Amino acid sequence: MKNSSSIQALFGAHLKKLRLQSGLSQEAFADKCGLDRTYVSGIERGVRNPTLEVISVLAAGLEIEISKLFEFS
């Protein structure tokens, strides 16, 4: 598994924070998105490089705009 890059780590940490704020477990969130839980786990840990399509699915699963997934400092 490749090392996490800066953007992957930032994105993953922010995604996890938003998911926890929404009250969803990783499994419930993955199910809602139609993604595998291990894949969502990898994104949150910053070791996966999700595509635009997947990023769109993640935002829909959290019922937020995609831009909100990138509002980290």
Q: Look at the alpha carbons of 57, 11, 69, 21 in this order and tell me if their dihedral is positive or negative.
A: positive
d(C-alpha 66, C-alpha 72), whole Å: 12
Q: Are 26 and 19 in contact (CB under 8 A)?
A: yes
Q: Which of 24, 55, 61, 63 binds a second copy (CB under 8 A)?
A: 55
Quick check: 71 binds a second copy (CB under 8 A)? Answer: yes
Quick check: 49 binds a second copy (CB under 8 A)? Answer: yes
As measured in angstroms, the least distance from the Cβ of 45 to a second copy is 13
Q: Which of 21, 25, 38, 56 binds a second copy (CB under 8 A)?
A: 56
